[in-house]
Structure 1
Amino acid sequence: HVIQLTETEGEVTNIDVRGRYMSVVTSKNMIKIFDISRRQYKQLGVTRKFEKKAGVSLGEIKDICLNADGKKLCILADQQPFPSIRIPDTKFYVYDVDMDTFLEFQCSINRVPIEAFWDQTDKRLLAVETEFVKDLGNKGSTLNQTMTESGIKPGLENIKLEEIDNDFKNKKQEDDFQGKAIDTYFVTSDFKVKKQSTINFEEGDETMLGVQVPFFYFMGRKVEDEEEEEEETEEKGPSNMIILRKPMKDFVGLETVGDDIKTAIMNFSFFLTVGNMDEAYNSVRNIKNNTVWQNMAQMCVKTKRLDVAQVCLGNMRFVRGAKAAREAEKEKEPEARIAMVAIQLNMIDDAKELYRQCGRYDLLCKLHQACGEWDEAIEVAQKYNRINLKNTHYQLAKHFESIGEIDNAIRHFVESDTHRVEVPRMLCDLRDFDRLQNFVQGQREPQLFRWWAQYLEAQGMLQESLGFYRESHDYGSVVRLLCMIGDVQNAMKIALETNDPQGCFHLARHYEQNQNIREAIVYYSKSQRLHHA
């Protein structure tokens, strides 16, 4: 058959065929959709121009993709502020045949849609491949956004906007993934366009070929070791592209389930995305597969629905996870509560991101510690959670002690300001007294000197302990020991020089025991213990 177009409609520039349906776009931005399954083709809906109701152009169409039932047409376009200039649009558009309207959706910041794919069977599921464009920011792509009444905005205004960005926003932009990505959406007449999730391209992925639940299909390269690549480069030549198949996030571990479970999971994901919890639960309540419930709990983490996640954990019979989720309800921030569910489901990266979003760096620091990521824990504590910095060093010191790295343990006990108690305890437990003495002498702290002097005195090493008592300025103990060893002259000299009340008291007690009452009264007076006198 030949489809006749009028001169006012223009020449055909884009065609997309999906099963029994075909869409056509002309050079005049006219859109036609046909049912070509019969002997005589039939047009669906009316011929529609790519413009708003008021006649304002939405752009120049560059690519189209038709969904499975021929009722939705995804359109990628360029903006054309001048005849010779085409600007990539950061939005994509969906023409709804039944409603005869254009839906539009803004992609993520700094991203431009480059290709769109509908699922082969699910008419609601749309995947859009996007690429990163540096410094695009929040600048719009329509004529109203790129031009003012007097013309194009001066570059100076844009620079000023960039200069006033705060540090956190700049940090976020630096951390943005700069490779290709796939955004998935549910598109319906009732709920319009609802974003489901984002999947970043991995190493070896080049471009997307299509989507069919439960897989994405890519054109890419097989990732191999560098040595193997060098050996096989000459044999394979420049072309080593292959087709890669990767499961959707909702279907990891469920690639081989039956069609009924696939449909149930997709319905659950759809109703969860649009916020209809009753229908979401009704979609899957008869499923008995634990893996399915686990995947749905992971979906709830992505959509931050703690209530549904608790139902999923209950159906998994995951008692520990359900208990942790209930205990997390005491947290004020919703992200902190759902992060605990993510941890129970081994979604550690998601939990970290949730803690960052709600500013709970104390919990983020604990999570890093639990994962053994001590450098990250110290960094988070130094930058955002300094109140717990010493505690983090203490926990790291205990970790090093448990694995036998004593030098590192000592260093972090010092950083945590607990070394006066913890290092002597640790080294005494290890019977490493030489290292303990070196540590005490190296720190040169009165409290440590006094503790070490008491230890030496307990071991009967009175002469050695005298030196450390002097270093700690504990003159009362010095006088006491000198009296014990009979060196009363030096004891009296130190008591008079320092006028230390404790030293004078010990000297007075010594005189009293030796019946030297006159001297005892004098030193009791100096020690301000008049009732003893």
Structure 2
Amino acid sequence: MLLEVIPYTEDAERLLKNCKRYDLLNEFYQSGGHWGKALETAEMYDRIHLRTTYYNFAKHLERKGEQLEAIPNYEKSETHRFEVPRMMFEDIETLEQYIIKQQDQVLHKWWAQYLESSADMTSALQYYELAQDYLSMVRVYCYCDSMEKAAAICNETGDRAACYHLARQYENAGAVKEAVHFFTRAQAYGNAIRLSKEQASEEQIMNLALLGKPEDMIEAARFYEQKDGCEDKAVMLYHKAGNFSKALDLAFRSKQFGALQLISGDLDERADPELLQQCADFFLENGQYDKAVDLLGIGKKVIL
């Protein structure tokens, strides 16, 4: 590179200034060890490389063994969350004091992970709390067989990842009621419905399905479709999930004429032509000619 073969001279410095190549001037100062000038140039004219300049200066100081001086420069380069723990790892006590003073959630989480790996679970939990890492708190409490404390955190914070983790732990332990509760808090309604189906908890399945996504509603609808006397719930869920063909088909088979009237109001030209004709026939038989004409009009668009 050009700068590697140009020795530091006032002429070279003047040339780069006159060309307004402050990026090259910055590199020129760095290569010559003129860090004060490099940082000044970056601050005033080459701010796009300011963080990189601070980082390079911090690396320079670290290589010289000046770790304490390197720290503020790593901070200015915004790389301190990784570089300072790496640099200070051999001096754990000093590193701990640094992390305590920083009040930085990323550093608190890093320190908590270190403490956890050292089997100091009590201290790890304190730093996970400072980092507001509720998932890790719940994970550690579950590992320590303190499910009640984990549940308290989930109920208090509503953290979805933490609730999901706890729900899985309860499911593995066979505590279905608790698992369903925390799957619901995690908005993992499909999991909650799956467990409720195993327990044949009909009312709970309906409540969960109405909170969930269309696929959750369809899963619940399949459950109700297979249970005698629950076809009305299945029709309603298929309808709400947007599966009009299935809702209509089941409504006809189970003779739910009130549901037919409700569903037909949401039909358009995308509906199955045969089902449209069935609905129209139903309305004709029951003297509701206007509705029959509307449906047949839709059917005509499909044919065209």
TM range (shorter): 0.5 to 0.7
In the alignment, does 2:87 pair up with 1:411?
no
2:117 corresponding residue in structure 1: 458
Residue 530 (structure 1) shift: 2.9
2:33 corresponding residue in structure 1: 372
Aligned letter for 1:474? D
After superposition, what is the alpha-carbon deviation per residue over 1:306-330, rounded to whole angstroms, capped at 9, x for unaligned? xxxxxxxxxxxxxxxxxx5xxx5xx
Q: Which has the higher contact order (CA 8 A, sep 6+)?
A: 2
Q: Equivalent of 1:532, from 191, 205, 219?
A: 191
1:381 corresponding residue in structure 2: 42
In the alignment, does 2:96 pair up with 1:437?
yes
Do the aligned residues in 1 keep the contact of 2:52 with 2:77 (CA within 8 Å)? Answer: yes
Find the aligned partners of 1:344 and 1:529 in 2 and give their Cα distance.
63
After superposition, what is the alpha-carbon deviation per residue over 1:329-354, rounded to whole angstroms, capped at 9, x for unaligned? xxxxxxxxxxx5xx635352211110
2:190 match: secondary structure:
coil
Supply the RMSD in Å over aligned alpha carbons. Answer: 1.5
Could you tell me which runs of 5 or more consecutive residues in structure 2 were left unpaired when the two chains were aligned.
Answer: 193-304
Residue 532 (structure 1) shift: 3.0
Q: Equivalent of 1:421, from 51, 65, 82?
A: 82
1:514 corresponding residue in structure 2: 173
Q: Which one has a bigger Cα radius of gyration?
A: 1
Aligned letter for 2:177? R
In the alignment, does 2:59 pair up with 1:398?
yes
Do the aligned residues in 1 keep the contact of 2:6 with 2:12 (CA within 8 Å)? Answer: no
Find the aligned partners of 1:504 and 1:456 in 2 and give their Cα distance.
23
Residue 438 (structure 1) shift: 1.3
Count of residue pairs the alignment pairs up: 192
Find the aligned partners of 1:347 and 1:496 in 2 and give their Cα distance.
65
Shift >3 Å, 4+ stretches: none
* Structure in which a larger fraction of residues adopt strand: 1
> 1:347 and 1:385, CA in 2 relative to 1: closer, same or farther beyond 3 A?
closer
Q: Equivalent of 1:358, from 8, 12, 19?
A: 19
2:253 corresponding residue in structure 1: none
Residue 523 (structure 1) shift: 0.7
Residue pairs, 1:115-264, within 5 angstroms: none
Residue 504 (structure 1) shift: 0.8
Find the aligned partners of 1:400 and 1:503 in 2 and give their Cα distance.
42
1:300 corresponding residue in structure 2: none
2:135 corresponding residue in structure 1: 476
After superposition, what is the alpha-carbon deviation per residue over 1:271-298, rounded to whole angstroms, capped at 9, x for unaligned? xxxxxxxxxxxxxxxxxxxxxxxxxxxx
1:76 corresponding residue in structure 2: none
After superposition, what is the alpha-carbon deviation per residue over 1:141-162, rounded to whole angstroms, capped at 9, x for unaligned? xxxxxxxxxxxxxxxxxxxxxx
2:78 match: secondary structure:
coil
1:495 corresponding residue in structure 2: 154
Aligned letter for 1:513? N
Residue 521 (structure 1) shift: 1.2
Residue 531 (structure 1) shift: 3.4
Aligned letter for 1:510? Q
Find the aligned partners of 1:516 and 1:347 in 2 and give their Cα distance.
74
Residue 466 (structure 1) shift: 0.2
Residue 371 (structure 1) shift: 0.9
Aligned letter for 1:501? R
After superposition, what is the alpha-carbon deviation per residue over 1:371-404, rounded to whole angstroms, capped at 9, x for unaligned? 1111111111111111111111100000010010
Find the aligned partners of 1:410 and 1:529 in 2 and give their Cα distance.
44
Find the aligned partners of 2:134 and 2:93 in 1 and give their Cα distance.
26
Of the structure 1 ranges 433-442 and 395-404, higher mean CA displacement relative to structure 2 is found in 433-442
Residue 505 (structure 1) shift: 1.2
Aligned letter for 1:473? Q
Q: TM-score, normalised by structure 2?
A: 0.60
Q: Equivalent of 1:449, from 103, 108, 111?
A: 108
Residue 502 (structure 1) shift: 1.3
Find the aligned partners of 1:366 and 1:442 in 2 and give their Cα distance.
34
Residue 529 (structure 1) shift: 2.1
Find the aligned partners of 2:169 and 2:85 in 1 and give their Cα distance.
33
1:532 match: secondary structure:
helix
